[in-house]
Structure 1
Amino acid sequence: MNNAMKRRDIWSFITAIIFLGYIVFLALPLFMILIKSFFDGTTGEFSLAYFQKFFGKAYYMNAVWNSLKVTICVTVLSVIVAGPLAYIMSTIKIKGSAAIQILILISSMSAPFIGAYAWILLLGRSGVITKFAERVLGLQMPDIYGFTGILLVLTLQLSPLIFMYVSGALKNVDHSLMEAAESMNCKGLRKMWKVLVPLITPTLLAGGLLVFMRAFADFGTPMLIGEGFRTVPVLIFNEFISEVGGDDGFAAAISVIVVLFTTAVFLLQKYIANRKSYSMSALNPIEPKPKKGLANIAAHAYVYLFTILAMMPQVYVAYTSFLKTSGKIFVDGYSLDSYRAAFTKVGDSIYNTFFLAIITIIIITLTAVLIAYATVKRKGAVANLLDTFTMMPYIVPGSILGIALLVTFNKPPILLSGTAAILIAAFVIRRLPYTIRSSAAVLHQVNDSIEEAAISLGASTMKTFFRITVPMMISGVIAGAILSWISIITELSTSIILYTGKTKTMTVAVYTEVVRGNYGVAAALSTLLTVITVLSLLLFFKLTGKKDVTM
């Protein structure tokens, strides 16, 4: 009895500490921007002026409609493109499928704004493809800037997320269901629509929600390629950062509106997913089989075309990083000048990225293990509330979290603005869910009796946890930590708000170099980021023994 009470007290204390961290670095900052949005920045009096200003001017409402237009179109297109892609890869033997899955995954792991920068080089007014089409084919290419360009970049960037979700769901579908449908003359697209789609609807909704949130919160792509097509993240950034006419109170009001909207979307998705959920156990899972004739050619063409388009930005950026430069201009020949310039001009950003990411990953790994255990093994109202807190970073866009942290910690008693600590706090809050979910998934498979046996033999609660439980869940911890690592080093929306000259990261450096027109340096840094991402994924596959990443 005493051991049970002691065990409960230790985990109650750990849960309380974790709660305190979330309250200080997530709940309090969000509460502060809520308060700031309701008080006049000049007089300090309660006012609804910021909200009246937002809803009263077409300029601001246009940004909302633009964001919704982009987000909805990207989400729908991603499902339309990636759903069939996952189905083809799951049911038809595609040559080189293992390599293709890795390439598709790599294409999704880079920062979206790097894709925007690459497509400017390819399809911009002076882009390689644009010039080739004009000179050789006599064709006028469509304008890459504005809505079209944003849609292209985000769809290619985010479709792999739907691909991973749907691929994971299809592994849980029993092939006998497909055979039963075919025996009733339900074949082809009708079989897919009538049988498969209802089964994977919750997964499609979960993947669609992630795509929706990422597209809605993306800052770098519309900033680089939008050319006047203003979205909400750009609007918030300009209102908060602008030295002329900027108003952090108004930026806070917009942030509150955005968080309320994303929360409503999240709750709607959860409600629909719960009503459409199915329990599946695949005793005879779907496996890819050889196909012949036109169907085989069409399947290979579809898969290869998507992979080429998805990887084209990274490949071309890597190519340009080796071109010789004269000042800011690419000239004939090849050299390592861009890499030399990258290390000499913005070399600190490379060091900062690794330093911040390593510190963040250490904190994330330890915290995620504790949270996963508290939410999986310590079931109850408190555990459910903690689980809800861990989901909030999915709802809050990175730029808004950055603003909330700056508003909260820009003066004593906790002065963090301008330091590396505020960036680490933001990275931990935003990227912790990856490792929590991966760790919890493994922990669900660990039987409680194993811990009970260790405690009955005299081991303390913490000794049992670290010597018995943690080693059994280490594969999930490592998998989640690597995915968190990749998302940290490619983070921009939060970093662009919080960085200073001493804490600039590689993504911020790439963004600023693109804006300044230093495309060689930007390409070199982007290529380094891609190489780090690839090595991280290879490490993930090596340590976990997996051949792909599904969700």
Structure 2
Amino acid sequence: MKILRDNWLLFSIVALMICGLTIIVPQLRLMAASLLDEGGRFTLLHNKDGLQSVPEMTSRYTVAKAASGLSVSLNATKDLSVEVENDRTLRLTALQALVVGKDEAGALELAFGQTRFSLSQQAPRGLFATAAPAPLEIKAQSVNSVLLSHAANAYITFENKALSVSAVHYLDFFTRSETLSATFNSLLIALVSTGLAAMIGVSLAYLVARYQVAGSTAIVFLVTMASVSPPFLGAYAWRLLLGRNGVLTSYFGWDISIVGLHGVIWVITWLVFPIIFLLSHTSFQSLDAGHIEAAESLGAKPSYVRLSVEIPLALPGIITGLYLATMAALSDFGTPRIIGLDVNALPVLIYTSFLSEAGRNPALAATGSVVLITISSLFLMAQQIYLARRGFAVVASRALERKRLSSLGHALVLIGVSLALLMAFTPHLTVLVSSFMEWRVGLPRANFTLANYTTMLSTGLGPAWVTLSLGIAGTLAASALGLGIAYVIIRKRYRVIAPVLSLTVMMPYVIPGTVLGIGLIMMFNKAPLQLTGTWFILALAYLIRNLPFTVKASEAALRRVHPALEEAALSLGARPLRVFVTITAPLVLAGAVTGATLTFLHIVTELSSTIVLYRPPWKPMTAVIFENTLVDADFGVSAAQTILLMLIIYVPLYFIVRYGQIQGKSGG
């Protein structure tokens, strides 16, 4: 068979099946959960005071008083009449024939027409009661009438478990003030923080790229470091500094607090500014000198050249940076959760609706997930349409010479860059100082100590080993699978499989982490694929969430390798697999290392999917640190754990950047 003879075709099919099972199917299940509506339920209480309905335990059905009892209706259509026969018996009457049976769980079932009710009862027992309450029993009286016997003072529940396709969850979502405010807040946070970050990032990127600024290489390196900081670190540190009882607010006696919507926007602005800076800086550096010189030779003023030539030509990088920053802000779970408190945002609403012990509402979580994915997809479509409708290509490119700044101008640029870096690294500095301070009752004391690190080491490094094992395993798996998929897309180009595979592996990029985690739980929560609560579901989530990085990095590297090198080896009789392993893979190693590094950094700092999926003992460091910030825990030990996490992040990043493997970061 052709499939068996072509190893790459077989790999493509297997890869597509894996991606479909872990990416597409869970999202389809989420969509189905948002569109499926249960039939509803109602509960009746029959005691010495008579028969009455229990509104708190009734949904969709309307139970009203009638001349001889109660009338139960759905959508204004009378379904059932309930009358009191005696103190332990009710008479049920329907317009259609009543059929008595049992459901799959062995509970009594009452069916008529398309409706099937599963019956259950709750009967309170006295303190010294020893006998079990009388069970539910049904006895047919006629074709459309039955007698229901029950225990004394029983709450009797009729639950219609039939599922139907309905938009009721979406109607509920867009008519409830809670969900509307969460959606509005998420959009406001994303757009305002991205706008502020753009003003800072694009301006500084232009100055550093187009002018001779002292230490420009170090500036880019520091911004790169800031771009991979843990997403919840800023919220944790700024709350520690400027919370109601923060270090600075208490020391200076300020009656202010950063906690709230304004604090979320402030923290996320400095979280996403490095993304915009790096991509804008790359775009400004790659501008063609010929275009600018042509405009200047025609007498255009520098300000006009900047606005009409330089910025428009750099728009691909700027727009991409804005999109990535918006996605990072929109899907951020940790910051609103830590510093927002009463601020309702979509990722937090989805999480609490799905996992909260009180008020759990999986249907609302599924609907919110679909809404969040839709918003993310609309932003992506807007970015793609804008870039596709405009041309940015140049025939040839000649590097620009950096302009000299006046002494005052140079000083102002350095001050601006320093302030931006100070804001970006304030969380890192705060955590570093906090880790060496003594903490009592949640407040720091100006005593230098190593006790926090001693406590961290004595309580075990289990979370660190979990983080490292997941980081290494997820990186290796994503790198191997991503390189293979990139080879299929660039070299093999199968007519159907290649484009479908390319589209599928990019889907996790627009799926927020909380949504991805909920989809995986729905998919792998039952045998034979029961992975929920294990190490493997975390590794799987990290693998598929980071495939876009490894695939795109490998694609870029493969485009720089001429196919003639592979064709020469094939013409000499080498097998395709050997050609790939001995020729192609070594040539794309630099690009693969770039993708692998980004993958590792994202895995060890991942929070949004982790907080949904982890279960003890498989608890990564991000989950430990995040939970400690939400309770009255020892902030010194949490700070020491954060420093350990930062070392895990920055040590490999330093060596990769130092030896030229990464020139910037293209994702958030």
Same fold, judged at TM 0.5 (above): yes
What is the DSSP-based 3-state SS (H/G/I as helix, E as strand, rest coil) of the residue aligned with 2:587? Answer: helix
> Deviation of residue 189 (structure 1)?
3.5
1:512, CA displacement in angstroms?
Answer: 0.7
Counterpart of 1:322 in structure 2: which amino acid? F
What are the within-5 Å matches in structure 2 for residues 40-439 of structure 1? 40=37, 43-46=161-164, 47-134=166-253, 140=254, 142-280=256-394, 283-326=397-440, 328-345=442-459, 347-379=461-493, 380-439=495-554
Q: Which moved more, 1:166-175 or 1:278-287?
A: 278-287
**Structure with max Cα Rg:** 2
The letter for the 1-side match of 2:314 is I
Q: Could you list the per-position Cα deviations for residues 204-261 of structure 1 after superposition, in whole angstroms to 9, with x for gaps in the alignment?
A: 2211111111111000000011121110001001101111111112211111122122
TM-score, normalised by the number of residues in structure 2 = 0.78
Structure 2 letter corresponding to 1:30: Q
Higher strand share: 2
Q: Decide whether aligned partners of structure 1 residues 371 and 457 sit closer, same or farther in structure 2, where only a CA change above 3 A counts.
A: same
Q: Is the 8 A contact 1:202 1:274 kept in 2?
A: no
Report the residue type matching 1:48 in the other structure.
Answer: A
Shift of 1:75: 1.7
For 1:75, the aligned partner's letter is T
Cα 1:370/1:121, change in 2 over 3 Å: same
Aligned partner (choices 6, 31, 35) of residue 34 of structure 1? 31
The alignment partner of 1:500 has SS state of coil
- Percent identity, please: 31
Question: 1:437: how far off?
Answer: 1.2
CA RMSD of superposed structures (Å) = 2.0
C-alpha displacement of 1:533: 1.6
- Judge which range, 189-198 or 78-87, deviates more: 189-198
Is the CA contact 2:20–2:504 (under 8 Å) kept in the aligned structure 1? Answer: no
The Cα of 1:133 is off from its aligned counterpart by: 4.1
Larger proportion of helix = 1
Change beyond 3 A, Cα 1:123–1:314: same
Show structure 1 runs of 5+ residues with no match. Answer: 135-139
Give the Cα–Cα distance (whole angstroms) in 1 for the partners of residues 267 and 510 of structure 2. 22
SS in 2 for 1:459: coil
> Structure 2 CA distance, aligned partners of 1:377 and 1:277?
27
SS of residue in 2 equivalent to 1:415: coil
Are the counterparts in 2 of residues 317 and 523 from structure 1 also a CA contact under 8 Å? yes
Scaled by the length of structure 1, the TM-score of the pair is 0.94
String of CA shifts for 1:484-537, please: whole Å, max 9, x gaps: 100110000000000011111111111011112321122111111222221121
Q: Does 1:533 align with 2:649?
A: yes
- On the 8 A contact 2:210/2:284 being kept in 1, the answer is no
Give the partner amino acid of 1:267: M
Write the deviation string for residues 14-67 of structure 1: whole angstroms up to 9, x where unpaired: 111110110110111111111111223562411333222211211210110111
On the 8 A contact 2:279/2:665 being kept in 1, the answer is no
In structure 2, distance between residues paired with 1:152 and 1:523: 21
Contact 2:594 2:662 in 1 (8 A): no
Alpha-carbon distance, 1:201 to partner: 1.7
Distance 2:532 2:615 in 1: 9
Cα distance in 1 for residues equivalent to 2:333 and 2:654: 29
Residue 167 of structure 1 contacts residue 550 of structure 1 at CA under 8 Å; is this kept in 2?
no
From 436, 458, 475, the equivalent of 2:590 is: 475
Q: How many angstroms apart in 1 are the aligned matches of 2:303 and 2:594?
A: 35
Q: CA deviation at 1:322?
A: 1.0
- 4+ residue stretches of structure 1 with deviation over 6 A? 5-8
Q: Is the 8 A contact 1:350 1:506 kept in 2?
A: yes
- Contact 2:186 / 2:346 at 8 angstroms: preserved in 1? yes
**Are the aligned partners of 1:93 and 1:290 in contact in 2 as well (CA < 8 Å)?**
yes
Asked whether the 8 Å contact 2:354–2:365 carries over to 1, the reply is: yes
> Which residue is 1:10 aligned to?
7
Secondary structure of 1:331's aligned partner? strand
- Look up the SS of the partner of 2:618 in the other structure: coil
**C-alpha distance in 1 between matches for 2:31 and 2:642:** 36
Describe the SS at the equivalent of 2:350.
helix
The answer on 1:24 being equivalent to 2:21 is yes
Output the CA distance in 2 between the equivalents of 1:403 and 1:105: 31
More deviation in 524-533 or 272-281? 272-281
